[in-house]
Amino acid sequence: MKAIFHGHALVEIQTEHHNILIDPFISGNELCDLDANQVNPDVILLTHGHNDHVGDTVEIAKRTGALVVAPFELATYLSFQGLNTHAMNIGGSNEFDFGCVKYTKAFHGSSYIDENKNIIYMGMPGGILFSAEGKTIYHAGDTGLFGDMQWIGDLNEIDLAFLPIGDNLTMGPEDALLAADWIKADIVVPIHYDTFPTIKQDPYNFAKDVRTGTGKVLKIGESLEL
Ligand code: NI
Ligand code: MN
């Protein structure tokens, strides 16, 4: 299994038979190395409804027919746009043909702002535990630090964790270091930084300070083989 970081919270996972995009925020992120018209996922996983996570989901899924897995309200909203969706919610897991998805808690908001500036409530935000080919990836989504991360770390053998470090909208680096201690992943990759002026961070500083597991910065477009 291969995990590729494409900026912000966008992580691509390639398994032997599947291409999975988590939070495909592409056209709105000038730092992203992808072209929303060129990607070909068969699965899109969404952590929550914010526009910097839903991103280009509707256009990509309409073009590719990708299955969109999302928290209930968001999945329902996207199904009304004609997408092929699967609704889940926190604490729930499901075994798909591409792997197992479990939604964890995330301490954040979840709404989608449409083109008419309506703020649409999208239920609870989540993090995602994804397992396939004997490996487990934790994508924390957008979240502040919360104590139950210790349980997530105790109950799962996490090979690779993507943790937000941007501060302001999510955990900052200091809290993310505590999160890394609790999650106990082998490899910790920082995400959700530098995209906006309010979330500028030095990811190398964070990665060097990771005490539990190995901190590793993935440049945009860089991948890790698990
Ligand atoms: Ni958010
Ligand atoms: Mn965000």
> Residue 174 C-alpha to ligand 2 middle, in angstroms?
18
> Residue 135 C-alpha to ligand 2 middle, in angstroms?
25
- pTM of the predicted protein model: 0.98
**Residues 216, 133, 46, 149: what is their CA dihedral angle, to the nearest 10 degrees?**
-60
Q: Quickly state the pLDDT bin for 25 (edges 50, 70, 90).
A: very high
DSSP β-bridge partners for residue 113: 119
- Residue 205 pLDDT: 98
Cα 161–Cα 167–Cα 172 angle in degrees, nearest 5:
55
- CATH number, domain 2-225, options 3.50.30.40, 3.40.50.300, 3.60.15.10, 3.30.9.100: 3.60.15.10
Report residue 101 CA to chain centroid gap.
Answer: 12
Mean pLDDT for 207-213 is 98
DSSP β-bridge partners for residue 135: 132
- Residue 167 pLDDT: 98
Q: Quickly state the pLDDT bin for 213 (edges 50, 70, 90).
A: very high
**Token representation of residue 145:** 């630090």
CA 6/CA 21 separation, integer angstroms: 10
- Residue 75 pLDDT: 98
> Residue 16 C-alpha to ligand 1 middle, in angstroms?
30
Q: In the chain, what percentage of residues exceed pLDDT 90?
A: 100
Pairing of strands 11-14, 19-22: antiparallel
- Residue 184 pLDDT: 98
First to last CA, the chain: 5
Tell me the pLDDT tens digit for each residue of 149-180: 999 999 999 999 999 999 999 999 999 999 99
Mean pLDDT for 102-119 is 97
Give the closest ligand to the alpha carbon of residue 193.
2
